[in-house]
Amino acid sequence: MTDVDLFVLGGGSGGVACARRAAAHGAKVALAEQSRLGGTCVIRGCVPKKLMRYGAHFADYFKIAEAYGWAGSKPQFDFGRLLQARNREIERLTGIYATMLEKSGVRVIRGHGSVVGRAGQDFLVQIGAERLTARNVVIAVGGHPVRPEIEGIELSLTSDEILEDIYPQPARLAVVGGGYIGLEIASFMAGFGIETHLIIRQDLPLRGFDDDLRQDLRDRLVERGIHIHADTRPIRILDSGGGRILETDRQPIEADMVVMATGRLAKARTEGLGAVELGASRDPQGRILVNERYESVVPGLYAIGDCSSHAHNAAFAGQFDLTPIAIAEGRALAERLFNREPQPVDYRYVPTAVFAIPEAASVGMSETAARAAGHDVQIYRTRFRPMLYTIPDGKERTMMKIVVDKSNDRVLGVHMVGDDAAEIIQGLAVALTSGATKAQFDATVAIHPTAAEEFVTLYQPVG
C-alpha cells in the first residue's frame, strides 16, 4: 500500500504551503526538511533582512527627530543585541511553522530527502534510514548563493552568513553585486554607520528594472554615503591580517568583510535528488523544468518555487524567485492534485520590491520593456521631497512613474523609489491586475496628505 499521497522535499515557503493545502483537502502528506523549517525566506532571507532594515532605519528617524522638537541624549546602537533579537524571532517563526504543519496533519521528517527509485506506480523516497512510498513527489528544495570563482573567494561571505549568523559589527564592508541582495545588505549595513562599498558590474544597479528607478535609487544610495564602484569587477580577495583587500579591475577596496551577492542557483540543491536519474530535465541554473501544471517530464514528479523553471514555456512571463510565487505555486499544485482545477497563478503583474533604504518597488513593464514590446507609450513622472523631510530640510526625494499604453490608455507599469514604496505598489498591483486605465487612476480620489496620492494626481505626461 502507498504510504503517502504526497511527499514534499523541502520545508520552505513553497513546500510548506503545498503540504498544508494538500493535507487540508484530506491528502496523506509527509514533508522532509534537512535544516530548519521555514526555508530561505524565514531563516536567511526576507524576514531577517527586513528586521535588519527596521533596525538600521531608526538612525534616520533619530537624525530628524530634533527638527521636530525632540531633544536629549543620543541613543546608542548595540549591533550584537539586534542580531540576537533577530535570531530569537527567527526561532519563534520556525517553531510556528512546525506547529502549523503538525496541526494540519502533515508528517514532518527531519533530514536530507531524495527519490531513490520506483515502487510500481509509486515513487520510493528516502530520508536518512527511512523509506516511504509516495504517489506524488513535489520538489521544493529552493536555491543557494553562488560566488564567482576568483582567488581568495573563501575569504568572502554570502547573505546566508550575514542573515543567519552572529558576528561582530564590521567597520568597513564591501558588497559585490548590484541585485536585490547586494542593495539590501549595503543599505542596512550603511544605515548602522558602517563604511559600505558596493561593487557593481554595470553603470547602474538592478538590471531589468525601469531606468528611472535604477538612477534614482543609485543617487539616493550615494547621498546616503554608500560608495558605489560602478563598471567594476572583482579580481581576487586577499587577507590583510584580519581584514580583507578586494582587488578589482579598478582600485583595490579595503574592508573587514567582503560579501558576495552575486546571484543564486538551484544546481547543488537539485543534484543527487533522484529527479534527473528518473528522467527530469534541468535548466543551466539547475532548476527542474516543469509545465504549466508544475509537472516535470516524469508524471507525478513536480517542482515549485526557486528550484523550478517554466521560463522556457511561452505561456509564462519569466522567472520569479519570490516567496509569494513559491507559495502560490505550492497551493495551486495542491488544489489541482487534491481538490479541483485552480485559477492558474497570474505571472503577468508580479509586484516586486527591493528593500533598500529607501525602498524601490515596481509592478508591470519598465519604459524600456514597454517600448521594446512595441507599445506606443506615454510617461508620467514626478520627483518630490516627501513631507516628513520638509521641516528637517532633508535631501530625500521620492520618484514615481507611470508607463501608459497610448493606444488604449492601459497602465502598463508603475515604478517608485522612496519611503513605503513596497506598501504603495502592492495596492497598485491590484489595479494593474484588474486592467486599470490611466483615466481610472485619474478618477480615483486621493488620500491627502500622502505620497501615494501623487499616483492619482499625475495629469501631465513628461514623454
Ligand X SMILES: Cc1cc2nc3c(=O)[nH]c(=O)nc-3n(C[C@H](O)[C@H](O)[C@H](O)COP(=O)(O)OP(=O)(O)OC[C@H]3O[C@@H](n4cnc5c(N)ncnc54)[C@H](O)[C@@H]3O)c2cc1C
148 binds, among ligand X, ligand NAD, none (CB under 5 to 8 A by kind): ligand NAD
**Count of residues touching ligand X (by CB under 6 A):** 37
| Least distance (Å) between residue 324 CB and ligand X | 6
Q: For residue 384, what is its C-alpha cell?
A: 518630490
243 is in an annotated binding site: no
263 is in an annotated binding site: yes
Identify which range of 22-30, 93-101, 316-324, 361-369 contacts ligand X by CB under 6 A. Answer: 316-324
152 is in an annotated binding site: no
Which spans of this chain sit near ligand NAD (rule: CB under 6 A)? 148, 176-182, 184, 201, 233-234, 261-264, 321-322, 352-355
Residue 269 is a binding residue for ligand X (CB under 6 A) = yes
Strand 195-199 relative to strand 360-364: parallel, antiparallel, unpaired?
Answer: unpaired
442 is in an annotated binding site: no
| 449 upstream amide cis, omega within 30 of 0 | yes
177 binds, among ligand NAD, ligand X, none (CB under 5 to 8 A by kind): ligand NAD
Name the maximum alpha-carbon separation found in the chain.
75
List 324, 342, 392, 394, residue binding ligand X (CB under 6 A):
324
List 55, 113, 351, 418, residue binding ligand X (CB under 6 A):
113
| 252 upstream amide cis, omega within 30 of 0 | no
List 2, 34, 339, 440, residue binding ligand X (CB under 6 A):
34
Question: Which CB sits closer to ligand NAD, 136 or 232?
Answer: 232
Residue 312's contacts (CB-CB under 8 Å, 6 or more residues apart) are 283, 289
Residue 256's contacts (CB-CB under 8 Å, 6 or more residues apart) are 170, 171, 172, 173, 242, 243, 244
Residue 112 is a binding residue for ligand X (CB under 6 A) = yes
32 binds, among ligand X, ligand NAD, none (CB under 5 to 8 A by kind): ligand X
27 binds, among ligand X, ligand NAD, none (CB under 5 to 8 A by kind): none
Provide the CA 92 distance to its chain's centre, in angstroms. Answer: 21
Residue 39 is a binding residue for ligand X (CB under 6 A) = yes
| Least distance (Å) between residue 360 CB and ligand NAD | 9
Question: Which CB sits closer to ligand NAD, 124 or 186?
Answer: 186
39 binds, among ligand X, ligand NAD, none (CB under 5 to 8 A by kind): ligand X
Residue 164 is a binding residue for ligand X (CB under 6 A) = no
DSSP states of 313-379 as a string? STTS------HHHHHHHHHHHHHHHHS-PPPPP--TT--EEE-SSS-EEEEE--HHHHHHTT--EEE
DSSP three-state, residue 152: coil
* Three-state helix/strand/coil letters over 102-143: HHHCCEEEECCEEEEEEECCEEEEEECCEEEEEEEEEECCCC
Residue 12 is a binding residue for ligand X (CB under 6 A) = yes
| 463 C-beta neighbours (distance < 10 Å), count | 9
Contact 140, 301 (CB under 8 A): no
Question: Which CB sits closer to ligand X, 275 or 431?
Answer: 275
| Least distance (Å) between residue 182 CB and ligand NAD | 6
| Least distance (Å) between residue 215 CB and ligand X | 22
Catalytic residue among 57, 197, 310, 448: 448
Residue 45 is a binding residue for ligand X (CB under 6 A) = yes
Residue 18 is a binding residue for ligand X (CB under 6 A) = no
Question: Which CB sits closer to ligand X, 324 or 461?
Answer: 324
Distances (CA, A) of 151 to 5, 234, 236, 251: 48, 10, 5, 17
H or E stretch covering 100: helix 79-104
312 is catalytic: no
CA torsion, points 66, 68, 71, 73, in degrees to nearest 10? -50
Question: Which CB sits closer to ligand NAD, 170 or 305?
Answer: 305
Contact 9, 29 (CB under 8 A): no
List 3, 210, 321, 454, residue binding ligand X (CB under 6 A):
321
50 is in an annotated binding site: yes
Question: Which CB sits closer to ligand X, 16 or 403?
Answer: 16
H or E stretch covering 18: helix 13-24
| Least distance (Å) between residue 114 CB and ligand X | 6
Question: Which CB sits closer to ligand X, 114 or 285?
Answer: 114
CB-neighbour burial class of residue 279 (10 A; exposed 0-12, middle 13-18, buried 19+): exposed
DSSP three-state, residue 402: strand
CA torsion, points 173, 174, 179, 181, in degrees to nearest 10? -30
Question: What residues make contact with ligand X under the rule CB under 6 A?
Answer: 9-15, 32-35, 39-41, 45-46, 49, 112-114, 140-142, 159, 163, 181, 269, 273, 305-307, 321-324, 326, 355
Residues marked as catalytic: 448
Which residue positions form the known binding site for FAD?
50, 113, 306
